[in-house]
Amino acid sequence: MQTTKFRGNPFYLGDEDIAWVENTLASMTEDQKIGQLFFLITYGKDAAQTENIVNKVRAGGVMCRCMPIDELTDVLGEMQKKSAIPLLVAANLEAGGNGIVAQGTLVGSQMSVAATGDPENAARLGEVCAEEGRAVGANYAFAPVCDIDYNFRNPITNTRTYGADPAVVAECASRYVRECQSRGLAVSVKHFPGDGRDERDQHLCTTVNDLSCEEWDKTYGAIYSRLIKEGAKTFMVGHIMQPAYSKALNPALKDSEIMPASLSKELLCGLLRGKLGFEGLIITDATTMAGFDAAMPRNKAVPAAVAAGCDMFLFTKNLDEDYAFMKEGVKNGTVTRERLDEAVARILALKASLGLHRKDNRPSLENALKVVGCEKFSGYAAKVADESITLVKEEEGVLPLTPEKYKRVLVYDIESGENPLGYARASGIFEKVRPLLEKEGFAVTRFVPRPGNEGKTMAFRDIADNYDLILYFCNLATKSNQTTVRIEWLNPMGSNVPRYVTSVPTVFISTENPYHLLDVPMVRTYINTYGLNDATLPCLIDKLAGRSKFVGKSPVDPFCGKWDARR
């Protein structure tokens, strides 16, 4: 590969940087080059995992799941100390520093940022992710999410996106990219060729972006083009098919031969590198997903991803096996020596563009404690919470809520289960809300269903005569490996359904999913918060009480196209 390309967008390397890339590449054995292709994962302090990453595989990068600040700085310090070539260190820094460190600031979901209507909040999000990330040893954000939330049934995009308007997505993502990279943290535009069209989850099957080439160019393509010009250093490719472009770029391609982007030379070399002109690093999305595994046998898919145009391979299902598959792919020519050198050169160029070869990359706990969770960043989070909360629809005369109008309040809380990947923003919503309501002077009762079927359920008068107000707090977070985000009502016979809306003033608050009006169209006062940070519930109470205005604007259609939900 011509390393002179690295002088331009997005790496902008000087002579000394290019010399380091060339000299390092020339000195590497084939096994060392193969190791650089792998981007592995760490969940915490684990001597065996550290050994695998830095000595056994000699990986090019490591992704961190969220862990305590002292453990994180220790783990990354040890890994960088033992690595002959500095490691790329990444995390899902989509909503704040909380994506990598337990004490990090949760600024807000990308959708909450978009709901503020102020792109400067996207820049603030980028600032927090970069500063808190770098303080604990990260140099790479697996963000921003540049998917467009066209399909309200998609269980994974949702609040992780900047919404359904490509122009808003482009502007917010651009501000994030600019701010993040100016502070020394590489970004990863994800998930090319674009999630949000399909209602399925690529963790569970290969999904589809079904737009025509012309429609794609005006939407996803326009976003990607802008971010490439903005200097985004890397793209993360999804296990998502784009049939229109695959066939346009290869008319001989049969339907059965269409591959997800992570395995598609048409989409990677023809579209992303060719038509869009991207010269940065391409990394797969997690290859542990069924969307990748189901496309072809894994022994073929592992090297095929690199052969198709991916420079780095994210995660392994079985470390020894996948490493052996990659080695065999190089040996049998699936990955040519030229293609291997090209991928490794880009990996080294990304590292050089971040200056990793010129500095000590071990984080300082003392410095991290000064940056992570600081007052300035907490202020950003409070600002996003205050400006994003959206009053979607309002029944005349219900708001504001005061104990003089509604002394006796019945609270229905609807919770999601534990989320192992950390997308859920909160749990125990009733325990958080109750003291805030009681401080306002309300007498609060939690709804508990009464056992029994027809003829034996709770009487209408039990609710209508004993409560002045009904509040719903629905905390159902989107997450991977699920097929839908809908409310599952309690037995018997949906006992917690909003059935008293014509008898008792009712307010429904969704703290996570902005699309619950699909299931509660009868509700006449409905509010979205797009997630919970430390400031969200206090800000919400202020707005319900009339001390603060609702100023958030929905970045998506909260009515899900249903006419009855608007009534």
Active site residues: 285
The residue type found at 7 is R
Amino acid type, 388: S
Question: How far is Cα 211 from Cα 71, in angstroms, rounded to an integer?
Answer: 45
Helix axes 298-308, 319-331, angle to 10 degrees: 60
Strand spans (E) along 299-449 = 313-314, 390-393, 408-415, 443-446
Of 107, 115, 94, the residue nearest 558 (C-alpha): 115
Residue type for position 461: R
- DSSP conformation class of 257: G
Which residues are CB-contacts of 566 (< 8 A; sequence separation ≥ 6)? Answer: 393, 559
- The candidate with the shortest Cα–Cα distance to 141, out of 53, 61, 207, 255, is 61
3-state helix, strand, coil in the chain (%, to 5): 40, 15, 45
- Report the amino acid identity of residue 221: G
Residue tagged 């003829």 (tokens): 455
DSSP 332-368: TTSS-HHHHHHHHHHHHHHHHHTTGGGS-----HHHH
Q: Can you give the three-state secondary structure of 520-547, one letter per residue? A: CCCCCCEEECCCCCCCHHHHHHHHHCCC
Cα separation, 111 vs 441, whole angstroms: 32
**Chain centre to alpha carbon of residue 465:** 45
Q: What angle do CA 302, 306, 310 make, to 5 degrees?
A: 120
CB 174 within 8 A of CB 232: no
Provide the edge-to-edge strand list for the sheet that holds 186-192: 281-284, 234-237, 186-192, 140-141, 88-91, 61-64, 38-42, 313-314
Return d(Cα 146, Cα 123) in angstroms, integer.
15
Question: What is the C-alpha to C-alpha distance for residues 385 and 509, in angstroms, rounded to an integer?
Answer: 14
Closest CA to 530 of 546, 508, 552, 545: 552
